[in-house]
Amino acid sequence: MKYLVMLVAMLCVACSPVDNTDTGTSTTGSTARADGQAADGKTWAITGGTVYTLGKAGKIEHGTVLLRGDKILAVGADVDIPDDAERIDARGKIVTPGIFDPESQFGVVEVGSVKQTRDASAGDSRFSAAFDVADAVNPRSVLIPVNRIAGVTRAMVAPTGADEHIISGRGAIIDMGSTEGFVHRDPAAMFAVLGESGAAQAGGSRAAALLALREALQDAGDYAENKSAYASNQRRDYVPSRLDLEALGPVLEGKEPLVIHVDRASDIEAALRLARDFKLKLIVSGGAEAWMVADQLAAARVPVLLNPLEDLPTHFETLGSTLENAARLQQAGVLIAFATGDTHNARNVTQAAGNAVANGLPWIDALKALMLNPAVIYGMDRQLGTLEPGKLADVVIWSGDPLELSSHADQVFIAGRKIPMVSRQTLLRDRYLEAMRGKQAMPAGYIHP
Amino acid sequence: MKPARLHVMMLTMLLVLPCGMAIGATTPPPTEFPPEAFPSTYQPLPSQATLIEHATIFTGTGERIDDGAVLLRDGKIAAIGKQIDAPADAVVIDAKGKFVTPGLVDVHSHLGVYPSPAVRSMANGNEMTSPTTAEVMAEHSVWPQDPGFNTARAGGVTTLEILPGSGNLIGGRGVVLKNVPATTVQAMKFPDAPYGLKMACGENPMRVYGSRHQFPSTLMGDVAGFRKAFADAQAYDRAWKAWQAKVDAKGHTKAGPPPKRDLAKETLALVMDGKIRVQMHCYRSDEMAVMLDVAREFGFHIAAFHHAVEAYKIPRLLAKAGTCAAVWADWWGFKMEAWDGIRANLAMTDAGGACAMIHSDDANGIQRLNQEVAKAWAAGRRAGLDISKAHAVMWVTLNPARALGLADRIGSLEPGKDADVVIWDGDPFSVYTRTEKVFLDGAVVYDRDDPAHQSTSDFMLGSFIDASAGARPDTEDSR
């Protein structure tokens, strides 16, 4: 029965009229969604704002962004607004695409110190590459409203197995505005670690970590070509389990990117060699010293997910950390996106981006790094990343410069859904503001007679 | 080392003590007890009279002066106002379009005790071998070469309190430092600053010891641990005071030898005497209320609750106790006691009448305390709290100075105070603004445009010596 449901779901995906490069090949039965069904079927006209499309139209003063269903219908200075459209006045405000967090733990970590609420890794599990966070994501996580009302509309949910396996597993991209069909793409990327973390798990040396990764990839390649022989016990033993070998297939075919967390310049170079040898679609995460090998990264077209605030030699592999990392990589032609490593405060990525600008990154490139580049990096830029007709309607209306500390998101749309601008934190705030304004703080549930 | 040789050395050490100090036979007069240990050797760096004019000044006292001027002379604020005539010998800085604030003050840092690089042998901030270690002192773990001191200084931090970690109920004494480049901790030590005692309620101590099946493993165990330690210290204090009462003005006594010094109890006795200020890690409102009662029971005062993510629930209680709340702008959710963190915490606590402030607890965050203030201020405005920027600047200047017991010396730009001053290249509430110059006791300790005033830690030297003719810039200089 479950099989049938899955089959129907997959068929629906296949016959969807929209671009379906995002459907992936779900082997987990998770809810890969076809085209994001119209949130409420409404038409919204966001008018009068300064629109940064991040697309070919660039910046539009006094622009209109028209949303219908889950898509953007039109963007421009002269857009005919249908009669049935509900208007939102954005004069004096800034309109952008939503923020796409390229490496988060949304829905797989609730309270950091409460292990029952953590599903981002499985240290005692036999599985590494086959470990898929999509099966664990909780779309009702309290963290999601906290961050989506600050403009974060999409997120890569990544496994965090750095302390357990060299290959941590598969990540999934989620829609931050939905509790059904919220896994937008699964699998979206494979995650692994090298450098100090990799060495710690491989017996104590970086060389052993690289060897382990090579061995897993070689085994997966051999397995892919000899599946029937393997099934009939006619093939040599492999180190990874059968499911791990299966999971590495799309990575070896170059269909699924491999995100390797790596910081030291020489470790990045080692990852680049690995990617070249196996023809992998490599993404560097961390990249504290990426600026030192920027030209090589640019030549290999390898993007970097980085925290622009990282500037201390907290590890021997990050001695070269600098606030100018983002600016230097951008200057060298490397595609960058921002990952702060703090899912609870993923919203602070705008502050991180602002600091990258203060340290040399052009403002518009910082905006792209937040909103467009993650979509490009994960191959979803045909659906996301810009305000252009036909794209999913992830739109944020900002009170001012999105990177400024005094600005906030006035209104957020995710796939056309107008998001209630409420979170557990705003509710707590309002409850105690009320208590403060009253002469006496009464317990909740009681009122003054 | 042979015992005989050790003996000779000890003798030598005793002999070189200043003549005034008693050895052996006579006992020290009570006024000098406990004797000063590890005295500060801090000396202000050479400075020149400096007039900063045409700046937008946030004074740190809640006021703003547009097109204002401030004169630094002999390491002190000599004058501040709309216009000050430049003395003949003064360097004049035209700060048109720029902003000036007092040097930033952080009450909660682990720089030096948890330095970069974060390797085991350098991580010396938590003596987690007993839940109460009032005898340890953070200054004995501070590594002055932590590159984080330099980046914090570039962020405008001139005074900071280095605290032990929160693994223990009583973690030990903190130390207040002037953020100057130095090779010894004594050379950074803020002269005559009161000591702080780090205490921690909540999840951390009970997790550390509970996981070893040791005491405490519950919140009630935490509180019992504090009470037991202070009760013991009370008895110790009584014994010493009884003995001291029998010492005459010349330091002679017939009461026999003094009680044996107990460094832990001595520290707690000084807390109860009001000489050491309690800096207490405490997240939840209910736990803060309990600790205020514990303090009342033993007659001590809690200077500030640190990490007080629920301070917004009890501002009046804090105000009444005269206890400050030191908070992050928006950290939350990493453990249960941080679950109710909200962005408006600082602003609401302040509006509720309590002394509130930003703290870093983080080597990265300490570099941008102005931005943390800006976020907290913006959250307050969104909550409908009409707070001026000039007032919010107190959250990182005068209020932390109060918590440290140093409000008469630092934290605001008032004549006679230490000349700790930051010139910002724009509004410090903007994410794009950076420090331009930082003065500490009137001396330039950081200058964005002058590498001569950008300190590099010994540790960073030679990290990237490239054989190919220095193709790679040294990272710290190029930051």
- pLDDT 10s digits, B234-262: 999 999 999 989 888 777 777 888 999 99
Q: What is the mean pLDDT of residues A192-202?
A: 94
Q: Is A112 part of the contact surface with chain B (CB cutoff 8 Å)?
A: yes
Q: What is the mean pLDDT of residues A25-42?
A: 46
pLDDT at A446: 67
Q: Which residues of A touch B377 (CB under 8 A)?
A: 406
Q: Structure tokens of B158?
A: 């001139």
Cβ separation B342–A114 shorter than 8 A? no
Among candidates A113, A321, A404 on the partner chain, residue whose Cβ is nearest the Cβ of B431: A404
Average pLDDT, chain B: 92
Q: What is the pTM of this model?
A: 0.91
Residue B354 has pLDDT above 70, yes or no: yes
Query: Nearest residue of B to residue A407 by CA position?
Result: B378
Query: Nearest residue of A to residue B434 by CA position?
Result: A358
Q: CB contacts < 8 Å between A and B, how many? A: 130
Cβ separation A322–B375 shorter than 8 A? no
Instruction: In whole angstroms, give the CA distance from residue B126 to residue B121.
Output: 12
pLDDT at A5: 37
Residue B273 has pLDDT above 60, yes or no: yes
Helices (H), A100-194: 143-148
Least Cα distance to A200 among A304, A291, A123, A296 occurs for A123
Among candidates A114, A314, A348 on the partner chain, residue whose Cβ is nearest the Cβ of B330: A348
pLDDT at B253: 76
What phi-psi label fits residue A254: left (phi over 0), alpha (psi between -120 and 50 degrees) or beta?
left
List the single range of B209-223, B430-444, B456-470 with lowest mean pLDDT.
B456-470
Who's near B359: CB < 8 A, 6+ residues apart? B106, B107, B108, B109, B306, B307, B326, B327, B328, B400
Which of B111, B114, B116 to probe by mutation at the A interface, max A CB count within 10 Å?
B116
pLDDT at B465: 87
What count of residues does chain A have?
A: 449
A145-188 pLDDT, tens digit each: 999 999 999 999 999 976 778 999 999 999 999 998 889 877 79
What count of residues does chain B have?
A: 479
pLDDT at A439: 55
What torsion, rounded to 10 degrees, do the Cα atoms B333, B336, B339, B340 define?
-160
Share of chain B above pLDDT 90, in %: 86
B152-203 pLDDT, tens digit each: 999 999 999 999 999 999 999 999 999 999 999 999 999 999 999 999 999 9
Residue A47 has pLDDT above 90, yes or no: yes
Q: Is A408 part of the contact surface with chain B (CB cutoff 8 Å)?
A: yes
Share of chain A above pLDDT 90, in %: 81
Report, in angstroms and rounded to the nearest whole number, the Rg of chain B calculated over CA atoms.
24
pLDDT at A26: 38
Share of chain B above pLDDT 70, in %: 91
Q: Which residues of A touch B344 (CB under 8 A)?
A: 429, 433
Q: Which residues of B touch A408 (CB under 8 A)?
A: 378, 382
Q: What is the mean pLDDT of residues B64-83?
A: 98
B96-117 pLDDT, tens digit each: 999 999 999 999 999 999 999 9
Who's near B142: CB < 8 A, 6+ residues apart? B111, B112, B113, B162, B175, B177, B185, B188
Q: What is the mean pLDDT of residues B359-381?
A: 98
pLDDT at A444: 67
pLDDT at A449: 56
- Which of the 8 DSSP states describes residue A392? B
pLDDT at A438: 74
pLDDT at A436: 83
Cβ separation B336–A111 shorter than 8 A? yes
Instruction: In whole angstroms, give the CA distance from residue A383 to residue A59.
Output: 20
Q: Structure tokens of B55?
A: 């700046």
CA of B473, closest CA in chain A: separation in Å?
Answer: 10
Cβ separation B148–A321 shorter than 8 A? no
Are the C-beta atoms of residues B201 and B167 closer than 8 Å to each other?
A: no
CA of B334, closest CA in chain A: separation in Å?
Answer: 4
A315-374 pLDDT, tens digit each: 999 999 999 999 999 999 999 999 999 999 999 999 999 999 999 999 999 999 999 999
Q: What is the mean pLDDT of residues A25-54?
A: 67
Amino acid at B477: D
Among candidates A142, A314, A319 on the partner chain, residue whose Cβ is nearest the Cβ of B118: A314
Residue B77 has pLDDT above 50, yes or no: yes
Q: What is the mean pLDDT of residues A12-25?
A: 36
pLDDT at B53: 98
pLDDT at A440: 56
Split at pLDDT 50, 70, 90, the class of B4 is very low
Q: What is the mean pLDDT of residues A101-118?
A: 95
Which of A340, A405, A422 to probe by mutation at the B interface, max B CB count within 10 Å?
A405
pLDDT at A7: 36
Backbone angles phi, psi at A50, to 5 degrees: -85, 115
Q: Give B281: exposed, middle or buried? Use CB within 10 Å, 0-12, 13-18, 19+.
A: buried
pLDDT at A39: 53
Residue A23 has pLDDT above 50, yes or no: no
Residue A268 has pLDDT above 60, yes or no: yes
Share of chain A above pLDDT 70, in %: 88
Among candidates A323, A344, A435 on the partner chain, residue whose Cβ is nearest the Cβ of B333: A344
Cβ separation A429–B116 shorter than 8 A? no
Kindly state the helix (H) or strand (E) to which residue B217 belongs, with its residue range.
none
Amino acid at B424: W
Q: Give B280: exposed, middle or buried? Use CB within 10 Å, 0-12, 13-18, 19+.
A: buried
Cβ separation A358–B433 shorter than 8 A? yes
Find residue B304's DSSP bridge partners. B279, B324
Q: What is the mean pLDDT of residues A76-99?
A: 97
pLDDT at A285: 98
Of B356 and A202, more confident: B356
